[in-house]
Amino acid sequence: MNDLTGRLKELAKQFDVPGVSVAILTDDGVETAVTGVLNRNTKVAVTPDSIFQIGSITKVYTTTLLMQLVDDGLVDLDKPVVTYLPKFKLKDPGAEKIKVRQLVTHTSGIEGDYFKDFGLGDDAVERYVSSLRRIGLSHPIGKFWSYSNAAFVVAGRLVEVLTGMNWDEAIRKKIYQPAGLNEHATLPGDAILFRASAGHVHKPGEKKAVIGRPWALPRSTAPAGATQMASARDVVAFGAIHMNDGQAANGAQILTPASAKLMQTPQVKLSMSETGAMGLGWLIEDWKGKKVISHNGGTIGQLSFLWVVPELRAAVCILTNADTGPMLADPLSREIFKERFKLDRPELPEVPKKPVDIDLRKYAGTYERLNVTVDVEVLEENKLKATMKAASLAGEEPSPPQVFPLTPLDKERFAIVNGEGKVAGLLNFQGFDRAGRPDYIFVGRLAKRVK
């Protein structure tokens, strides 16, 4: 890919993404490429120093802050959270058993998609965590992996209590400033000093994406990824810290080598992936013998992607400002890794030529998690149909129901097959009883069968 900028323009036009910023880090330095505008209303152009909301990539930053406390001897990952937050409670009993490690491995069981807004004050995270006494568990503690934004906010509150700083101040003083990350921000008052992106969303009946509202998710969920913004080149600089034994490019030691290594060490296997695992904060994959640590992020109309390959000393970041960003990032990242690093991103499995012989009636039913209901029905031709209805999470317009025709790959994994007959995504069923009926469906997070 000799003309990276030209390819960006092509893909941005194809998928209607107003603006894109890319950074590729190697031992030779950082290559950047940009296209488009940050905001279709203002028409401000994307530049390499422009900042985008990076969403849940933030979870790696929050874990880094937590591991600094481990390095300082202030936190034991295997102690209960209540050791450090004595007032921590959930609606369901058992909160006192959740361990710190489980917060940053998505195994705590805390219902994840709770985005209550507690304003812009410095006490937003504290008030959010106090309000979790209204929120329950989506699964037994430690039994499954289920993505939990709420758990990372609890981790962020732990950082606040033990540093004596609010989360925004802590990330600025303990990561940005010592590491020389000057193109990062977490608050609107800081973002206005940069060329900052606005998210764009596609609405029914509209040909072009329009500005998404609200502009940002609540500050109360900042440690999970609600508010942080950064340039693509600063994000890969952060990623480099984790492949350089915790050391920033300016020589500052942000983490001990032991903690940097532990974050990249598998803690729990991911059931929906043959090679995937969860580290501490990082997602871990095996790309034909090469370990890749990564994280994606999504806010309202802003989608972000970060991959780090420690063995190759390489990192790639793609930042987009439209809800179609994943459609652009998938082919682009595959081309970058193939052409620059001779690496093939793993493909999704193919549909078996011979239909899988299972009783689909056992999978039918209604599954629920916070703000989401999934109805599963049996179709003809060895297929299921899942209909997912989700409420608005943080004041944005609710999405219409999503319908997924599902083709079984095996007892647990089902494929979402597109119009071309190719697998476009996976979901799976977990927690089978003696009769072979699953107790949970996994669609990004676990939802429990209710009937």
Place of tokens 């011979």: 354
Question: Are 359 and 436 in contact, with CB atoms under 8 Å apart?
Answer: yes
337: how many CB neighbours lie within 10 A of its CB?
Answer: 22
Query: What are the beta bridge partners of residue 442?
Result: 428, 446
Indicate the residue type of 105.
T
Question: Are 376 and 405 in contact, with CB atoms under 8 Å apart?
Answer: no
Q: How many residues comprise the chain?
A: 451
> What tokens does 377 get?
């029905």
Per residue in 289-301, is it b (16+ CB within 10 Å) or e — as a string?
A: ebbbbbbbbbbbb
Query: What are the beta bridge partners of residue 124?
Result: none
* Rounded Cα gap, residues 384 and 361, in angstroms: 9
Query: Which of 91, 92, 222 minimizes the C-alpha distance to 149?
Result: 222
Helix axes 58-71, 232-243, angle to 10 degrees: 40
138 is annotated as an active-site residue: no
DSSP one-letter code for 396? S
On the 0-12 / 13-18 / 19+ scale of CB atoms within 10 A, 400 is exposed
Cα separation of the two ends of the chain: 51
Measured at the CA of 211, the angle between CA 205 and CA 215, to 5 degrees, comes to: 135
Measured at the CA of 350, the angle between CA 347 and CA 354, to 5 degrees, comes to: 165
* Rounded Cα gap, residues 247 and 243, in angstroms: 8
Backbone angles phi, psi at 234, to 5 degrees: -75, -30
Considering just the CA atoms, what is the radius of gyration of the chain in Å? 21
Query: What are the beta bridge partners of residue 140?
Result: none
Backbone angles phi, psi at 298, to 5 degrees: -150, 130
Question: Are 274 and 203 in contact, with CB atoms under 8 Å apart?
Answer: no
Active-site residue among 50, 56, 138, 231?
56
Q: Known catalytic residues?
A: 56
